Amino acid sequence: MTFGKWGKVAVAALGVAALSSAVFAQDKEALVKNRIDFMKGQAADNKAIGDYAKGMATKEAATKAINDLIDRSGKIVAMFPAGTSSTDMPGKSNAKAAIWTDHAKFVEIAKTLHDTAVAEADVIKTGTPEAVGAAQANLGKVGCGACHGPYREKLPG
């Protein structure tokens, strides 16, 4: 079997497409891993603030954590490009497809997390550790927990 000029072009194009697809798949896997690490960073911030509320960490540590959380919360939406759901990447991604089918709500919760974290920074600055504990519990509910219910797939345990 021989290929004409356009046949060779088509084969080359298919090869490039397959290579691009493989590279993109690798990119997506790296992106999802980075996203999971990013979320673990947020959890570490939450823990540091919670530890301060319980008298187990310094105010400086809590201040550093809330500033990091504010910064991260502004980046969340961009961490979820289309094509990286658990449907697209079963066993690797735990982001439900609902993030993209119900995107406005997802964006709204991310904004709530950001706004709540900004308000909590003031509580850490001027409030008691008990007040910080209450503010953090609220942030966990309206920010983190509000997103984890509808948008995070539980992976097999």
Please give the sequence-ordered ranges of beta strands (E in DSSP) within 9-134, or none if there are none. none
CB nearer another protein, residue 15 or residue 149: 149
Helix axes 5-53 and 103-126, enclosed angle (nearest 10): 30
7 binds another protein (CB under 8 A): no
CA distances from 23 to 11, 15, 29, 46, 146 (A): 18, 12, 10, 35, 34
Scan residues 40-99 and list those touching another protein (CB under 8 A). 40, 42-48, 50
146 binds another protein (CB under 8 A): yes
34: left (phi over 0), alpha (psi -120 to 50) or beta: alpha
Span near another protein by CB under 8 A; candidates 23-31, 83-91, 122-130, 139-147: 139-147
CB nearer another protein, residue 25 or residue 43: 43
The rounded Cα 122 to chain-centroid distance in angstroms is 24
CB of 59 to another protein, least distance (A): 18
Footprint of another protein (CB under 8 A): 40, 42-48, 50, 133, 136-137, 140-141, 144-150, 152-154, 156-157
